[in-house]
Every structure is written in structure tokens, then in C-alpha cells.
Copies of this chain bind each other. A is one copy, B any other.
């Protein structure tokens, strides 16, 4: 439990000084200014008073209970401070001080020693190189953080790795008059982890929605587990820094890992039911909607406007984000016709026209909310000098009271009418400035509802020869190498993945025997750890129809790959089918991501691939398959037969099981897999182990 951190009974601030620009001073100012409910203890070797609070020379001198300490002394002094805090029985230490992991080896060592020291006293560390925490719960009101955005109670909790981004999220809530619930920016995450904090947020009754920003995941598995538990009740909205290669470089120099982290993050979000954003503003605006509105139960949006153009922008944006335009029942249409001006347009958007009054707006909103075919409503409203805007705001609100369907309002107005916007916001309606913003916020709510209501199953039990595969893999572990084809295919067999008959050819004298087993037509392939892209390097001969052709191909390849330690295999040639690729790559700290795509140019040029976290459940395998743009090709287009989707699903489950069972596999490519209308067969494999 993190109560000591987010609901401390007393806070000490070590490094507090009279300098009003010092971090310690600002923390005391914030604690005091926002009415922290417990005692505040500045700690300063000089004693005296800081902002009227008596300063103690050491936490050990404080006679009362302290749960939390904020530390901003220079890093060389931190261990001594922690020692005292430990002795005092303090539970949590926020280390603001920088100069740790972010400066390299030496800093990492400092961090490790600091954590050991803290743990020896049963104390947990937050940070270092961190901003701190806040809890705006009026019962607590703790602002143990050195930043500047005013604190006000709200129901949106925020967790951010980067301080600048965390502050940005708070700031824009503040700008629209909203507060937040809990907040933290956790910095280096040396001890207390993001998933632990997230877990705590998830159990907080005052939190209605969570916004999170991450740069990298220290413990993806823990995040996945915690987030999956939270999202059925509380939406999590997430943004991940570094979704482009360049962005990842900016996050860190560990490029390779971090490009994968962006992909891994998306796959985790999908699996855990987290709504992902790429734009900070868009996420904040969605959070504002979640903060007062219930998620919709479907994708059908109804719109009301008093001017044409912005309504069309909202339609384009809504449809572009996967919503559908609602249609009205006969009864609803009649009610609209009765209530609105004759010039009003009764389609979707309903155009109540510029001169519409409060009753018109009320009737339109109420009608749409009672329509069974409408799941959510966007109200657009340009203030016209000839209407009673106050009454319109009030009546819109009244119309929403009887319904749980989400409603957002977009108001086009200028400073003179800002009071109107405040009024709508005070009555718990989300208000935006652009029609597109409102449409995107509702689309985000629908995305959450869709994720929340998705089929969740555990990965199925599949009968496989796990021991057999492990035995083969054991022989390669620690060698960081690709497996020879024969063994790689044997592992496929152990996991019940269909493959052609394969035989090793040790010399040209056994070609006949091998051919007799495999049969014609067959394929001859080179098999060498030095030859990764066999086809590209001329190491595959297809369509061998008889023994003579086989002997000739064998002699060709032997010559071509002389000196490369190559062996050769002969395999059954499978009838042509639709080509797909299933791959898996190691995702550090999480296990593996499974990749799915169509073969050849669809992956290499069109980049049409989808990823998911292994092991897959059946619904996840189905979603993964349908996650590529080219999926209709597998269903069959223009009279061509569809591919065997059940076979593909089965393959995805088996591959994902295989990599989940065997963490030493770092890379797997089944490329191509030939799929016909009744079956699938992996005709080539690359499998690498650590």
C-alpha cells in the first residue's frame, strides 16, 4: 500500500532553505499553500524557520510521525540523509536530486546502493531525478512536488515518467477549470515502480480516469498485469514518447530496444485494454470527457448544430475515427419536426439553425438521447447575438440529466461569452473549441468501451511436446545462433505446426534415398548459419521434378556455397497458396511479440503488419489477423477462394505458445507460410536462440 506516499501523516523536507527558488523551499510553499492536512517539517542543518515552519536539524529531531520525506540535497549527501530517515521510520522518500542513472555507470551504482540502504530500513524510494507526488483529495491535499500548476480536486489521476509532460497534463486540465486526483512524475524509477503506483491509483475510489505518459517500460509484464486489472472499471489513457525511430533516439541512445518499445507499448495497450494516444492535447481532451461522461454503448453518434460547416467537420472526424452516424426513428424525426423551426434540417447533424432558442436545443438534445439508435451526442453551438445563450446552456444541461449517454458540447464564441463556457463546464459537460475535438473525444470514449467489452479469454491449452522442443533448444542455448533447418522444423513439429517433409542431405550419395522419402516435386535448400536470406542468395531450388534434376541442383548449390560450412536439406514442395508470415521477436521484460502479415511486398513495401503480445488467446489471435489492412485478401476477393482462417488462427496460437514456453528464442520467422482453403503449412523457418 502506498498510503504513506499519497496520504502521508507528516512530511519532512530535507534540503529546505530560505532561498525561494530552491526545490525544498518550493515544496514547503506548495504543501502549505494548498492546505496539506498534516504537519510539515523543514529539515535544515542551520535550524531556524522556513516559511514560518520551524526547521529541524535532522528528521531524528522531529518528535512526530513522518511518513514521507522530500529530499533535494546534492547526491553525495543523499545516503546520509536516507540513513537518518530510515532510523526515524519514514516509509517513503521522494528523491528530487539528479545525478543518478541518467549520468551513466557511476550514477547507476549510486542508485543501487541507495536502494539497498533504504530497503535495509524497510523504506521505499520514489525517484530519484523526480518531481514528486500530489494528492488533491480534499481530505489529504498533499502537494509534495516543486512545480507550479495550482492544485484543485478532480477525478483524473495522472502518472508521468517525464516531469515536463506530467506538468503539461495538469496544466491543461487547470486551463479548463478542472483539477486532478492523484499525480506523480516518477523519474528514474529506481525502487518504487510505475506499475505499483498505477495499481494504487486503480484502487482509489476518487479516480474516474487515469492519464499516463511513459518514455520506457522498466517492467512491462507488471504493467500489463496491473493495467489489465484496472481497465475493466477505470479507463487508462496512455501516451508513449518515442514512436518514431528519431523519437526513440531522443528518448535514449538504446535505439534498437526502444523502437521495439513503441511497438511493444501499443501491443501491451491493446492487450490490457488501454486507450493509446499520439497527441498530448487529444489525450487531455479525451480525459476531460471521461471525467464526467459515461462511455457509450455503441459507435453511433448523433449531432446537433446551429451552423453547417463545423457540423461537417465533426462528421468527417467522427467517421474517420470509426464512429457511425446515427439515424433517427420515425418517432424521433416527428418529434424533431414538431419542436424545431421549419427551416431546421432533420438529418444527422440536426441543424437547428442559427436563430434556434433554448427550447429548440433542449428538444433536439432530449430527442437524440432518447433515440435507441443513438449512443452519444455532440452538440455544436455558435453563439449568435440574437439568442439567449445562458438559457441555451441551461436547457442543454437539463436535457442531458435523464440520460447516461455521453454528451460533449463544442462552443464557438469569444471572450465576451466565456462565462457561458464556464457555466456548461460547471454543470459537468465537457466543452471544446473545435468540432473535431468533440468528435475525437467521443471516439476515444468509444475506443475504451470497445476495448472494455472485448472478449477476454485465457490462452487456450494446446497439446504440444514442450519437453521435446526444450531438449532441442537446450543444445543451442548460450550460443546466440540460428538453428539448423532440421532442428528448427523439429521444433515446429513439437508444437504441431504443419510443415513439409524435410530431410538432411549429407552427400550426393544419399540423394536417392532422401528423394524417395520426401517425394517429387521437391525443394533443395542450403542450410547454413552464414546464409540468412536463402532465396536472395540463390540458396533455394524449387520445383525439382526428378532425381536427375535433384542431383544437378545439389551439385550447383554445393559449388555456390563451398567454404561456408553449408549443409543441405530436401523438402517436399507444397502446392502454391496465399503467402502469409508469422514471426516473433523478443520484447525485453515482456516475453515476445507475435507478428502477422501477408507475404512478400505486403510486409516489405506496404508495411502491413500487426503485432500482439504472446501468448495469445483465441480472440487475440482473431484480432491480430484482422489487424492488417490486407485481411480481406485472406477472406477471398474477386472470386478467389478464401484462405483457411481457422488454420491461421491455430498457427498463431501455436507459435505464440512456442515462444512463450521458450524464452531463449529471440527471433522466429515462418516465412512464407502457404495457406490454401484447407490448411496452412510453414515452408521456411528462421529460429534464433540466445
| A134-142, A455-463, A553-561, A599-607 - the one binding chain B | A599-607
Contacting B at CB under 8 A, from A291-324, are 305-313, 315-317, 319-320
A29 to chain B, nearest CB (A): 9
A386 to chain B, nearest CB (A): 4
User: Is there an interface contact between A308 and B606, defined as CB atoms closer than 8 Å?
Assistant: no
Contact of A433 among B162, B164, B172 (CB under 8 A): B172
| A277-285, A641-649, A656-664 - the one binding chain B | A277-285
User: Using Cβ atoms and an 8 Å threshold, which residues of chain B touch A117?
Assistant: none
Contact of A281 among B165, B319, B414, B434 (CB under 8 A): B434
Q: Is there a chain B Cβ closer than 8 Å to A67's Cβ?
A: no
CA of A167 to CA of B384, assembled, Å: 11
User: Is there an interface contact between A310 and B165, defined as CB atoms closer than 8 Å?
Assistant: yes
Q: Is there a chain B Cβ closer than 8 Å to A632's Cβ?
A: yes
User: Using Cβ atoms and an 8 Å threshold, which residues of chain B touch A167?
Assistant: 382, 412
**0/1 per residue, A147-163, Cβ < 8 Å to B?**
01110000000001111
A420 to chain B, nearest CB (A): 13
User: Is there an interface contact between B247 and A278, defined as CB atoms closer than 8 Å?
Assistant: no
The count of chain A contact residues (Cβ–Cβ below 8 Å) is: 87
User: Using Cβ atoms and an 8 Å threshold, which residues of chain B touch A243?
Assistant: 316, 320
User: Is there an interface contact between A319 and B247, defined as CB atoms closer than 8 Å?
Assistant: yes
Q: Is there a chain B Cβ closer than 8 Å to A667's Cβ?
A: no
User: Is there an interface contact between B313 and A174, defined as CB atoms closer than 8 Å?
Assistant: no
Q: Is there a chain B Cβ closer than 8 Å to A250's Cβ?
A: yes
**0/1 per residue, A383-425, Cβ < 8 Å to B?**
1111000000000000000000000000011111000000000
Q: How many copies does the complex hold?
A: 2
User: Is there an interface contact between B247 and A165, defined as CB atoms closer than 8 Å?
Assistant: no
CA of A173 to CA of B215, assembled, Å: 34
CA of A309 to CA of B168, assembled, Å: 10
User: Using Cβ atoms and an 8 Å threshold, which residues of chain B touch A162?
Assistant: 307-310, 312
Contacting B at CB under 8 A, from A590-622, are 600-601, 604-606, 608
User: Is there an interface contact between A309 and B26, defined as CB atoms closer than 8 Å?
Assistant: no
CA of A165 to CA of B436, assembled, Å: 12
CA of A633 to CA of B605, assembled, Å: 7
Top-7 shortest CB links A-B: A164-B307, A162-B309, A165-B309, A21-B386, A247-B316, A241-B312, A244-B319
Other CB < 8 Å A-B pairs besides A168-B412, A215-B309, 9 of them? A148-B414, A165-B309, A165-B310, A168-B310, A241-B316, A244-B319, A247-B313, A250-B311, A279-B436
Residues of A whose CB lies within 8 Å of any CB of B are 20-22, 26, 98, 148-150, 160-168, 171-172, 174-175, 213, 215, 239, 241-247, 249-251, 278-281, 305-313, 315-317, 319-320, 325, 343, 347-349, 382-386, 412-416, 433-437, 535-536, 600-601, 604-606, 608, 629-630, 632-633, 637-639
